[in-house]
Structure 1
Amino acid sequence: MVENCTEAMEFILEGFSDCLELRIPLFLFFLVSYVVTLVGNLGMMFLISIDPQLHTPMYFFLSNLSLVDFCYSSVVTPQMLANFFAQQKAISHPQCAAQMWFFSLFVATECYLLAAMAYDRYVAISKPLLYAVIMSPKICAWLVVGPYLVGVVNAVTHTSLTFQLRFCKPSVVNHFFCDIPAVISCSSSNTRTNRLVLLTLSFVLGTLSSGVILVSYAYILTAILRIRSVAGRRKAFSTCTSHLAAVTLFFGTLFFIYVRPSSRFSAEDDKVSAVLYTMAIPMLNPLVYSLRNQEVKAALGRLMQRRKFSM
C-alpha cells in the first residue's frame, strides 16, 4: 500500500496514438469497421428470424453468436471512438466497472457458444439420424443459457476483485477500454491475487471450452474419414470451415492476452490483439458465415426477391 495516496475517482484511458496524422485515419477505419459490425450482425439476426428455413439449431446458435458479437463490440467501440477527439479521456469508476462487467460477460459467453456450435456440428455429422432428437429445442435453449451463466460468473468474479483494489491519482490505463490486465496494472494495491485469479479462471474456462471444441472435431474428423465419396467428405467438412476459422482467431487472440506469463506483458501488443477480438472478429464472423454458407445466401436471395416483388 502506498502512503499519502489520493484516491482516484476516475481513470484516464490512454488509447491510441495522439498523433493527429494517425488519429483521423484510425478513427475512420474503426468507425467503418463498427458500422459493418452492426449491419452484419443485426442483419444476420434479422435474416435468421424471418426465414423459416433457417429455424434450425445451427442457425439458432449463429443468431445468438451474432447477438454476443454485437453486444461486446458495442460495449467497447463507441467509447473508444469518442475518445479519439476528447480533451480528457476520462471514465468514472462505475462506468469502467460496467464496461469491464459486460465485456467479461460477453467474451466468456462467446467461448462457450462456440463450444456449443462445435457440439452441434458433431451431432449433425456423426449422428445425423438422431440429430432432431438430440438437439431438441430444450437442449438448444440450455446450450445457450449455459454460456451466459458462465459469463455472469466470469464477470462478477473479475469486476468485484478489480474494484476492491486501491487506485491513486493519476490512474492512467494504458489501453483504449477498461480491460482487466490494464486496469489492475495501474493499482497501488498488491495485485498478485487478481493476476492469479485472472490467469487461473481464463485458463480453466478457456481449456474447458476449447477442450469441448477439440473433442467434437476429433469425432467429426473420424466421421468424415468414414465417408467413402470425396464429394460427401467435402460437403460435410464445408459445414465446419466457417466455425473453425472463427474459433481459431477468437481463442488464439484470447490465449495470447490472458494466458501468458506476466513477464511478457506488453500494453502495445495487447492493444493490437484487443482490436482483433473487439472489432475485427465481430465484424468478420457474419461475413464468414454468410459468404461461405449456401443456406444463408439462399435466404438472402429469397429476402431480396420478396422485397423486389413487393416493390
Structure 2
Amino acid sequence: MSVFIAKRVLTLIATLIGASMVIFLVMEILPGDPALVILGVDASESAVQTLTKELGLDRPPLERYLSWIAGLMQGELGNSYAYKVPVWELVQGALLITLPLAIMSIILSIALALVIGLYAAANHNKAGDVTLMGISQLGISIPNFWLAILLIILFAIELRWLPAGGFPGWEEGVLKCLTALLLPSLALATVVGAILARITRSSVLEVFREDYVRTARAKGLSQRATLWRHVLRNALIPVLTVTGIQFAALLTGTVVVENVFHIPGLGSLVLKAINNRDTIVVENVVLLLATMVIMVNFLVDILYAVIDPRLKAHDI
C-alpha cells in the first residue's frame, strides 16, 4: 500500500508541474498585450512600454515562469494587472462560491447515480430500467447551460420557488446562499449524474454475474441483501474512477453555468480575466482548477486501493 501511495504522489507532483508548464505556454502564445488592453488602443508606445516593464512582462518567459512557480511555492500569487489587487484576494472570494457549488453538484450527481443506477440494475430489462436509462440518455445529451436556462424558466419564472441568479453573499446566511446555488448545482449535476447512473447500472449488473454472488443467492440470500453485502462495494470501484474523471467536466461546466446564473465564482473570474488579458489571474485560476481535478483523481486512486483489496495484497 505504501508503494502504491508513493507512486501516486510522484505522479501527482509530475502532473502538477506539467500542467503549470502547459498553462504558462498557452498564455504566452495567446494574442494580445496586457499593457495595451489596460491602457487602451490610444495609449502611446512609451506608456505601453513603461507599464510592460512595471508588470514584469519584458523579462524572458523562462524567468517569468520560474518566478511564478517560486511565488506559488511561497503562497504568493502576484497582483492582478487589471484590478491592482493581490490575485489571492480575487481567488479567495470566488473560491468560496465555486467550491460549495462543486461539492453540492458532485453530491447530487452521486445521489442521482446511486438511486437510478441501483434501481435500474435491480429491475434489469423491466419497464423501470428502460425508462430510467432513456431519461439518463436524455440527461447526457442536454448541454448544462441550456438546462440551466430551462431550470430558470421553470423554477424561478413560472413557479417562483428559487432565485433566477445572483449570489447574496455568505454574510446573508448559509441557507439563503445554498438556495441560490441549488439551481446551478442541479444544472451541473444532471449530466454527470446521468453518466454515473449508467456506469453504476452496468457495474452492478456485471458484479451480479460473478460466481460468489450466484453462490450467495443459491444459499438463500435475498437480492436486496446480496446487493448491499456483496455487490455494492465491488461495483463502486469503476464508479469512483469515472467520478474523478467527471469532476473535471463538472469544474469546467461551472465556467459557463456561473455566467448563466450571474454567480461571481471562479468561472466568472477567469472569463473576466481573459477579456481583460489579465494573464496572471488566468494562470493562477486555471492552475487552481487543474489542481483540484488532479487532487480529486489522487483521492479516487487512494479510495480505489481501500475498496479493492487486491491493490493492498500486491502493494502496486
The reply to whether TM is greater than 0.5 is no
Per the normalisation by structure 2, the TM-score is 0.31
Per the normalisation by structure 1, the TM-score is 0.31
